[in-house]
A and B are shown apart, each in its own frame.
Chain A
């Protein structure tokens, strides 16, 4: 079991709910993934509209926890206000905090992120900050009151997978007791397995499943990869060696010449 803010979670895969071909496919993918947590957002509702109600009913029927996000916010003020609105609507103090700093790369504005995290932590939020793999920023976020960190491994939606293994390894090594969730940039189940093998506690992804030809099948594949990576990490991986080492014992081999 995986513990986040005192909540025991059966799955180490957190799943985004956007970009699926239909609500029915989203629901099936959530079930197939075995996830315990899905992300959701807040957007403008049309007068007389019921879109939000329908989506919210669907999510509640799935029996999973909701992690609201502040996606699309580009300032501290926007992010803090959105977080407070999400707390009221979704009835949770959990917030995936995004303060975007660049339109093209969608990389976080880490200065605004730390400031917003401090405000929200002081207000009683359980903040999940979407951040880079920068150690100093990570320390500032922990100093601001964050108990969890969510570093990217590549830009959002890029499907590149872990582009800086050294930084991820370093982050895991520096913060052995902080839950670390890789958020953004995963494209394949093998990417998820790779970061889980490094000892990351969980992964959060959306596009790689939602935009797959078969999202439900891909949800199952990612679920298996996350479990495999975690079990491998816990089982102690063999370190790479520069020389060949025979696996079959050499003692007792026949000599024919």
Chain B
């Protein structure tokens, strides 16, 4: 299905957010995710079903002021 991940359009096979992270080679406890503007905690990713056109943000710690 077509998804928007971190602002980029892509085609993915994954049905859940957890599976999408694995498919795109994301791993680690330092990642935070949001789906269509709402936070999805790590523990909820396996049960979060993706739909065509979903917007996903995958963030990690970065320098900040």
**Cα distance A52–B30 in the bound complex, in angstroms:** 7
**Cα distance A86–B58 in the bound complex, in angstroms:** 12
The size bracket of the interface on A is: 35 or more
Query: A251 at interface (Cβ–Cβ under 8 A)?
Result: no
> Which of these, A48, A50, A51, A88, contacts B62 with CB under 8 Å?
A51
The size bracket of the interface on B is: 20 to 34
Q: Tell me the smallest distance from the CB of B35 to a CB of chain A, in Å.
A: 10
Residues in B4-39 with C-beta less than 8 Å from chain A: 5-7, 24-26, 28, 30-34, 37-39
On whether the beta carbons of B63 and A17 are closer than 8 Å, the reply is yes
**Cα distance A68–B60 in the bound complex, in angstroms:** 12
Given the known interface contacts A44-B59, A45-B59, the answer about A53 and B64 at a Cβ–Cβ threshold of 8 Å is no
CB-CB under 8 A from A39, the residues of chain B are 64-65
On whether the beta carbons of B39 and A42 are closer than 8 Å, the reply is no
Query: A35 at interface (Cβ–Cβ under 8 A)?
Result: no
On whether the beta carbons of B62 and A52 are closer than 8 Å, the reply is yes
**Cα distance A63–B6 in the bound complex, in angstroms:** 31
Query: A120 at interface (Cβ–Cβ under 8 A)?
Result: no
On whether the beta carbons of A43 and B62 are closer than 8 Å, the reply is yes
Given the known interface contacts A41-B61, A51-B62, A52-B62, the answer about A81 and B31 at a Cβ–Cβ threshold of 8 Å is no
Query: A138 at interface (Cβ–Cβ under 8 A)?
Result: no
> Which of these, B31, B41, B61, B65, contacts A207 with CB under 8 Å?
B65
Query: A90 at interface (Cβ–Cβ under 8 A)?
Result: yes
CB-CB under 8 A from A88, the residues of chain B are 32, 39, 41-42
Q: Tell me the smallest distance from the CB of A41 to a CB of chain B, in Å.
A: 3
CB-CB under 8 A from A18, the residues of chain B are 63-65
Q: Which chain A residue lies CB-closest to B57?
A: A44
Residue from B28, B32, B34 with most neighbouring chain A CB atoms (10 Å): B32
Chain B residues in the interface with A (C-beta under 8 A):
5-7, 24-26, 28, 30-34, 37-39, 41-42, 57-65
Known: A51-B60, A52-B31, A55-B63. 6 other contacts (CB 8 A): A41-B64, A42-B32, A44-B58, A46-B6, A50-B28, A71-B64
List, sorted by A's number, 29 A–B pairs whose CB atoms are closer than 8 Å.
A16-B63, A19-B63, A19-B65, A39-B64, A41-B63, A41-B65, A43-B59, A43-B60, A44-B7, A44-B58, A45-B26, A45-B31, A47-B5, A52-B30, A52-B61, A52-B62, A53-B28, A53-B30, A55-B61, A55-B62, A56-B61, A69-B64, A71-B65, A81-B34, A81-B39, A85-B33, A85-B59, A89-B31, A89-B32
